Homo-oligomer: A and B are copies of this chain.
């Protein structure tokens, strides 16, 4: 049933994978490599979303998502308000780029109280959802691996992401499934099924053994132990047939020659996704 490769027209290059390159270099390399989608990052497009959008679209690419909003929890109401304002700007940027998905990395707790921080996440999403709806942007809650609980996200399982998303309409708030973050979870397949058409993104990379680094140790698909193809089958069974973003935090990958890297990504995608 799902034994074949994913089609190349669903491959999206998440821009963090070419972190050392400009948007223009990345866009040109994708066009040369016939990669049709780009997953953008705010720090790469923020200075001028409209001209970034033109550059991407003129090269024949589409934008699969914008990374990232989120980081809602903070120690004071004033700081939480600033975070919400920043998320409203991120929604505007997503709309300007012509993508309908803003990825949310929800942020760590400002102290030891995870439960309170998790409430701040739900509250923060509640504050931005109507603007997202007006802009035609879906918010995608991305659970991060539990090893990032202290520094990047108090949302650490797909179950949690689903629970928060279900507080809102499915056309406005969904979830992003990144195999690196969820592969270990005994509930991952049942939670993918539960997410259903709330899945707004599917990200791939691999878990190298031993893991070289918490943040910067991701591998290309096929280099590690994640059952990527089974997870793709599960998200497709749940109803997701959109772009598949290759998102790799790894200094060696970042320093690779661009054309070679995109060739390796296409091979890893065809063989292991």
Interface residues in chain A, defined as those with a beta carbon under 8 Å from any beta carbon in chain B: 109, 112-114, 118, 145-147, 149-151, 156-157, 159-160, 183-186, 207, 209-211, 214, 224-227
Contacts and interface: CB of A to CB of B under 8 A. Distances in A.
Given A147-B147, A150-B211, A156-B185, 14 more contacts: A112-B227, A113-B227, A114-B183, A114-B186, A118-B186, A145-B146, A145-B147, A146-B146, A146-B147, A146-B184, A146-B185, A150-B184, A156-B186, A214-B214
Number of copies: 2
A109 B225 CA distance: 9
B112 A226 contact: yes
A210 B151 CA distance: 7
A194 to B, nearest CB: 15
A74 to B, nearest CB: 16
Given A146-B146, A225-B150, A227-B112, A186 B159 contact: yes
A219 to B, nearest CB: 11
Contacts of A156: 184-186
Given A114-B184, A214-B214, A227-B112, A209 B147 contact: no
Nearest to A182: B146
Given A156-B186, A186-B118, A186-B160, A207 B150 contact: yes
Contacts of A224: 150
Contacts of A209: 150-151
Contacts of A146: 145-147, 184-185
A114 B179 CA distance: 14
